[in-house]
Amino acid sequence: MARKPETPPDRDTERFHEDRASVTVRGADQPDIDKGISVIRDTVQTLKPTPGVYRMLDARGDVLYVGKARALKNRVVNYTQVDRLTNRLRRMVSQTRSMTIITTNSEAEALLLEAQLIKRFRPPYNVLLRDDKSFPFILLRADHAFPRIQKHRGARKAKGNYYGPFASAGSVNTTINALQKLFLLRSCNDGFMSRRDRPCLLYQIKRCSAPCVDRISEGDYAELVRQAKDFLGGKSSAVQREIEAQMQAAAENLDFERAAMMRDRLRAATFIQGSQAINAEGVGNADVFAMATKGGQVAVQAFFIRGGQNWGHRAFFPTHTDGLAEEEVMTSFLAQFYEEVPPARLILVDRELPEADLLAEALCEAAGGKVDISVPQRGDRRRLMEQAQRNAVEALERRMAESGTKAKVMRELAEFLELPEVPQRIEVYDNSHIQGTNALGAMIVAGPEGFVKAQYRKWNIKTAQTNDDFAMMREVMTRRFGKAQEDDPDRENGMWPDLVLIDGGKGQMSSVKEALGELGIEDVALVAIAKGPHHGRDGREVFHFPDGREKMLPVNSPVLFHLQMMRDEVHRFAIGAHRAKRSRAITASPLDEIAGIGPARKRALLLHFGTAGKVRAASLEDLQRAPGVSAAVAQTVYDFYHPSG
């Protein structure tokens, strides 16, 4: 069984811009390709026929390509046989100036490590899975006498049972709401539950059994939890029969209130099963993938089936697929997809994959047992695959139609804002504060494919007066572009914007223009977007240019909608960051400033003395008497508040 390797320590490398490969599509010059071949030949001399991963790097040390091999020496030497290389590989070899080699214990380990490194470095010659959104799960916790049901994203550290993945937050929210009606499990956190002295609204609307105020015994609640586990684990029919029997028994005993409650629970179960838009009965647990290609673009449709229920579907659009076989694209996609998502024991694909056995071996540890990757031929599985294939074709057609419309909007945007060409990187800026408190500046990034959330940034305002919006914007621009001048003075890594969009009017535009002028930057396109004459009530916006001109767009203009969407996104990001900062400030304590005082000791001090002020006024002897506080900690706290003593 392959062990999933750790990402090896390596120096931080600037990620390539997504469109970097498009800049290097020209034919490879002979001197350049000779240099690349020489580097590869020198590397081959040091290799052995053992499994591992290799990285090709350009003159700046950026990663061009990550590959894996069962026998490194045999695989890498192929790049020196120029006549057998495709044009794409010749371009890659011509840019190669060094290589990095990592050996592994098996080819399966090499496959896992390859996927990790591709996700980390995003090389321009690898197939890339561009969707960086995490998948939500349902978590049924096991760390409380009355387990909580909740939505979960990220690392699965909490003790309990995880069910998923679900394709979207909407699908998991809908399922949780129905499960609350079906099993009456609590969704509140432990702190909220412990403070209740009467049932909350969820009990009144029959979505919770109110264990917080003992409306249900621990044993009866455990029975509900058991049913929920059975239902989510694929035994939904058995659970429905059990509830139906309880309803009939209650009716026979003339307990009509309990019978009505059971009837409502049955309706919730029927809703969950009826809301499955895809018929997955008889499939059990499986992940289903189908691919569609057209015009050089690729779409992969994924269905997530658990316990015979459809837990959602999502379309993915891998990039950097030109010149690659569809089977190679699918294999690389699956390896990257399962880098963070736990695989099902059954993976259904719509085509034979040459490395299916290797991929299955690599995934077996994460799946908790043997993984089967197969192409369905008949029955329910085949019908499900045909539905996935239809969805893949439709998703690709929608994507291509949207891309055509988006390209047209971007061309019109460039024309309206008087840009020399369609912008590839747009940065949008905004400030957020409440009467000057917890002030910060925010930046979002948008490109031809939409928002690039991994490159969003925020800055805590340090020097500007926090009630001066203009000064705050000036500080943000100085810090952002001052750093850019240090890190990339030649503007080669794709991180300089083609357009800076500022939320504000003439004042903000003047501040930004002044800040960039002081840095000697005069060739970045600037536009400020402000509410129209009626403060935006009619949907109009005024666009301010650096030379003082103002322009407006028709209310129904697609370009206006696109610009407003970017402005609204930076609003959302800035306000969210500000609220998070304000929440941290509210819960902060003066005890946080004392070195060596962690959460447990801080809690012990506050529980004993009541407030941070009383801790400050306490004598050394009083501090030493506090439960859970050692003599050394007491001395540390006392010395912090009495430095002269």
The label of the residue with tokens 């028994």 reads 249
In 3D space, the residue among 408, 392, 213, 379 whose CA is nearest the CA of residue 303 turns out to be 392
Residues in the chain: 645
Is residue 323 within 8 Å of residue 90, measured between CB atoms? Answer: no
Identify the CA nearest to 300 among candidates 312, 314, 285. 314
CATH number at residue 535: 3.30.420.340
Omega before residue 448 within 30° of 0, cis: no
Q: Do both 575 and 611 map to the same domain?
A: no
pTM for the model stands at 0.66
> Tokens 């309803």 — which residue?
247
Which of 225, 243, 274 is a domain's end point? Answer: 274
User: Is the residue at 607 inside a domain?
Assistant: yes
Task: State which of 557, 585, 613 marks the end of a domain.
Answer: 585
Query: Do residues 72 and 107 share a domain?
Result: yes
> Is there a contact between 334 and 289 (Cβ–Cβ < 8 Å)?
yes
CA distance 425 to 469: 25
57 and 157 share a domain? no
Contact 477, 511 (CB under 8 A): yes
My answer on whether 385 and 454 are in the same domain is: no
pLDDT of residue 502: 92
By C-alpha distance, which of 137, 148, 143 is closest to 159? Answer: 143
**181/260 same-domain check:** yes
The answer to whether residue 29 sits within a structural domain is: yes
Average pLDDT of the chain is 82
* Domain shared by 223 and 301, yes or no: no
Question: H or E segment at 121?
Answer: helix 107-121
- How large is the average pLDDT for residues 234-238? 71
Output the six-digit token pair for 57: 């790097």
Distances (CA, A) of 87 to 27, 92, 112, 152, 294: 8, 9, 27, 45, 21
The domain that holds 32 is classified in CATH as: 3.40.1440.10
Residue 5 lies in a domain: no
First-residue to last-residue Cα distance in the chain: 62
Task: Quick: pLDDT tens for 443-499.
Answer: 999 988 788 888 999 888 877 665 678 888 888 899 999 888 888 887 777 789 999
Is there a contact between 93 and 27 (Cβ–Cβ < 8 Å)?
A: no
Q: How far from the centroid of its chain's Cα atoms is residue 115's Cα?
A: 17
The range of the structural domain enclosing residue 450 comes to 426-585
Residue 266 and residue 303 share a domain: no
The 3-class SS string of 478-511 reads HHHHHHHHHHCCCCCCCCCCCEEEEECCHHHHHH
Domain count along the chain: 5
The CATH number of residue 596's host domain is 1.10.150.20
Q: In angstroms, rounded to a whole number, what is the distance separating the alpha carbons of residues 133 and 340?
A: 11
586 pLDDT exceeds 60?
Answer: no
**Range name among 401-410, 430-439, 524-533, 572-581 with the lowest pLDDT average:** 430-439
Asked if the model's pLDDT at residue 6 lies above 50, the reply is no
Report percent pLDDT > 70 for the chain: 86
In a domain, 12, yes or no: no
Domain boundary among 398, 414, 435: 398
**Does the structure show a pLDDT above 50 at 77?**
yes
> What does the alpha-carbon distance between residue 603 and residue 594 come to, in Å, rounded to a whole number?
13
In a domain, 281, yes or no: no
Query: Tell me: the pLDDT tens digits for 410-420?
Result: 889 998 998 88
pLDDT > 80? residue 543 = yes
Same domain for 579 and 609? no
pLDDT, greater one: 225 or 260: 225
Q: Which residue has the tokens 């695959």?
A: 385
Same domain (yes/no): 178, 265: yes
Residues 435 and 574 in one domain: yes
| Cα 160 from chain centre | 23
Contact yes or no for 186/146 (Cβ under 8 A): yes
Block residue for tokens 């994924």: 302
Q: What angle do CA 233, 234, 240 make, to 5 degrees?
A: 110
**What is the rounded average pLDDT of the residues 75-89?**
90
